[in-house]
Structure 1
Amino acid sequence: MHYKMYDEMMEQPRSLKDTMEMEKSHMKEISEKFQEFDKIYLVGCGSSLSTCFSSKDAMNIVSNRDLEVFTGYEFFYHKKLREKNAGVILTSQSGETADTLAALRRAQDEGMYTVSIINESESTMMQESDDVVLTRCGRETAILGTKTYMTQLMCLYQTLFTLEDSSEAKNVLKDLKKIPNITQDLLKNSEEDNKTLAQQYADYDIFYCMGSGPNYGLSYKLAMTMFMEGALKHACPLYSGEFRHGLIERVEKNIPVIFLDADYPGDEFTRKSIEFSRKIGAKNIIYKMQDYTDINPLLAPFVLVVPLEWFIYYLAHYNNEDPGRTRHIGKVRY
């Protein structure tokens, strides 16, 4: 069976290349504008929130810049925003996400500079933002977000890491250029293993997802949008360091736990959690960045998401579900 998500996955390398070609110089201008701000807010919902988490946690490893992540309505209702000398980057695939649109209007009411990263050129956020980075993906219909996730994450990394004049940040940007070709290779080379893995886990109903640093954002996306919206499975995301605060009491024999490992400092806890889960007989599913490519580990979410897309794609298929279809959510609303 061939689902629409398959086509959109295959469009990821081209979407990444087109977006970088069309928006790179524009993102440099935005970075120059954001250099003047003492505070930067990152706002999104769902997959878009996950890109904010990953970008912030990646920047925290190389920068002491003041970054804060909010969901749309949390930003809208927050009473102690720093309105002066602050900029806001809002992320939305559709450009119509009600929560994020409310945050955009609150930011503008407070006099903050707003930039939206979106995929729809005729959207409300396109019209109302002070500036826009437009991802060049074409219309995306699969609910869990593949090409729009990748390009949005790339735009956040490109914009934020350009703020830093350090060898670490420059190394990230150098390797970011490799992501379209790495994605192309992963689409070819990681399908069969994850198809087999999906068949093995088709009858399981709940999955825990864990990662540290930038991989927490990916674990959030994996649980919240890939498992629950795409494969219609129950799932829960956790920072690796939070394993012993709750999950250690609930993980049991034959319970699947997905671990994302990129050898970050926090992955000391990832590996301790892997060992504990192994000893009690949990079903450990381990995705290690080093098994796929050798680039800067801060780019792990770009790398690990592709095999995870295949896993979710076939997990849905083996449960007779279309991984792009939804029961209650509209992908793009006008």
Structure 2
Amino acid sequence: MVIYKMYEEILEQPNAIRKTLESQKENLDSIARKISETEKIYLIGCGSSLSTCYSAKYALEMVQDVNVDVLTGYEFYYHKKISNKNSVAIFTSQSGETADTRDAMKKANEEGMYTAVITNEKNSSMAKKANIAVVTEGGREEAILGTKTYVTQLMGLYYVLFGAFDDFKSRKIFEQLTKIPDIMEKLIKSTEKENKELANEFKDENLFYCIGSGPNYGLAYKLAMTMLMEGALKHACPLYSGEFRHGLIERVEKDVPVIFLDSNFPGDILTQKSVEFCENIGTKNILFRMQDYADINSILSPFILVIPLEWFIYYLAHFNGEDPGSTRHIGKVRY
């Protein structure tokens, strides 16, 4: 069987997180202290990087009443009015050269905001122009959909956001971050076979709906936008669980695949109602449940559920004769 580069990159994720936490601790702590003193937090990214912003925002808002905005790079650049200068703008870009995000940082710097970047490239323009940079230890990554760069970037966001608060809930979540690499190592070994079989079952499908609530919406976004569309070259659409009954409830049909991410969040009562509806009309439901994989705070679920999803996408691409790390247009078309 052909082994694509993404296979190795899946295996390397736990160590990439460990190395990032070790090498970047000083800068991560510095950003966390700055956040603790600020009134407003902006999280800005595009593609897979935007998905980490969504997950981190909803995770933090489940335990803190904070002012966090998530925007794409160009939405921030073109449309965001900046009035509160006591703000922290955190930019997420695997390459540190994403044009949308780079322009947004330029605007933030010109407005006098405190800017931080989480990137995998230490010599990138964004790493040089931010007030402070966290350089993740993903090494050279070839798979376009993002594996090591995704989990290390997500870890950086969780670290600085939850590390900014001293209440009991935030500290407990913060303390559990160091357990994630070990859990990931076990899941990488234990979930490959079942998701290879699942991918073989669904290899001929061309459309997938991806549904999640809370922090899992960010992962549903990544699953649809970068993993399925970029990696497996399948049509896909992400959706908040609570929005299922607006639009998709009228369009979803018998035998259409629907992927549900369920972590027993309060909002997952709507995920479960959506599952029941889909079962009744005969869709092909694929359910990834946090509690089936790890006994850890459910707010950390994107770190957990992404592992079986990566194997599913890897083999879905493989069974269709596609390299999950290759691209047709990304990086070739500029606008």
TM range (shorter): over 0.9
Q: Which residue of 2 aligns with 1:49?
A: 50
Q: Which residue of 1 aligns with 2:217?
A: 216
Q: Which residue of 1 aligns with 2:8?
A: 7
Is residue 2:125 matched to residue 1:124? yes
Identity, in percent, stands at 60
Is residue 2:94 matched to residue 1:93? yes
Amino acid of the residue matched to residue 22 of structure 1?
S
1:225-265 deviations in whole A, cap 9, x for unaligned? 00000000000000000000011011111000000000001
Q: Quick one: distance in 1 between partners of 2:5 and 2:227?
A: 15
User: 8 Å contact 1:39–1:82 — kept in the other structure?
Assistant: no
Amino acid of the residue matched to residue 321 of structure 2?
N
Residue 96 of structure 1: SS of its match in structure 2? coil
Q: Which residue of 1 aligns with 2:295?
A: 294
Q: How does 1:1-334 map to 2 (within 5 A)?
A: 1-330=2-331
Alpha-carbon offset, residue 93 of structure 1:
0.2
Alpha-carbon offset, residue 80 of structure 1:
2.1
1:206-243 deviations in whole A, cap 9, x for unaligned? 00000000000000000000000000000000000000
Residue 258 of structure 2: SS of its match in structure 1? strand
User: 8 Å contact 1:95–1:125 — kept in the other structure?
Assistant: yes
Q: Quick one: distance in 2 between partners of 1:116 and 1:180?
A: 23
1:18-57 deviations in whole A, cap 9, x for unaligned? 0011112321111112222101100000000000000000
Q: Quick one: distance in 1 between partners of 2:167 and 2:285?
A: 37
Q: Quick one: distance in 1 between partners of 2:293 and 2:271?
A: 18
Structure 1 window deviating more from structure 2 (79-88 vs 147-156): it is: 79-88
Alpha-carbon offset, residue 61 of structure 1:
0.4
TM-score normalised by length of structure 1: 0.98
1:280-301 deviations in whole A, cap 9, x for unaligned? 0000000000000100000000
Q: Quick one: distance in 2 between partners of 1:122 and 1:247?
A: 44
Residue 50 of structure 1: SS of its match in structure 2? helix
Q: Quick one: distance in 2 between partners of 1:152 and 1:302?
A: 11
User: 8 Å contact 2:49–2:94 — kept in the other structure?
Assistant: yes
Change (3 A) 1:79 1:11: closer
User: 8 Å contact 2:27–2:133 — kept in the other structure?
Assistant: no
Q: Quick one: distance in 2 between partners of 1:154 and 1:261?
A: 20
Alpha-carbon offset, residue 132 of structure 1:
0.2
Q: Quick one: distance in 2 between partners of 1:61 and 1:321?
A: 39
Alpha-carbon offset, residue 65 of structure 1:
1.3
User: 8 Å contact 2:34–2:88 — kept in the other structure?
Assistant: no
Which consecutive segments of 4 or more residues in structure 1 shift more than 3 A? none
Alpha-carbon offset, residue 79 of structure 1:
4.2
Alpha-carbon offset, residue 82 of structure 1:
3.0
Amino acid of the residue matched to residue 296 of structure 1?
N
Alpha-carbon offset, residue 273 of structure 1:
0.1
User: 8 Å contact 1:292–1:303 — kept in the other structure?
Assistant: yes
Unaligned ranges ≥5, structure 2: none
Structure 1 window deviating more from structure 2 (216-225 vs 81-90): it is: 81-90
Structure 1 window deviating more from structure 2 (184-193 vs 322-331): it is: 322-331
TM-score normalised by length of structure 2: 0.98
Q: Quick one: distance in 1 between partners of 2:251 and 2:80?
A: 36
Residue 244 of structure 1: SS of its match in structure 2? coil
User: 8 Å contact 2:253–2:283 — kept in the other structure?
Assistant: yes
Residue 244 of structure 2: SS of its match in structure 1? helix
User: 8 Å contact 1:83–1:110 — kept in the other structure?
Assistant: no
Amino acid of the residue matched to residue 252 of structure 2?
V
Residue 90 of structure 1: SS of its match in structure 2? strand
User: 8 Å contact 1:199–1:315 — kept in the other structure?
Assistant: yes
Q: What count of residue pairs does the alignment treat as equivalent?
A: 332
Structure 1 window deviating more from structure 2 (136-145 vs 307-316): it is: 136-145
User: 8 Å contact 2:27–2:132 — kept in the other structure?
Assistant: no
Alpha-carbon offset, residue 81 of structure 1:
2.3
User: 8 Å contact 2:6–2:324 — kept in the other structure?
Assistant: yes
Alpha-carbon offset, residue 127 of structure 1:
1.1
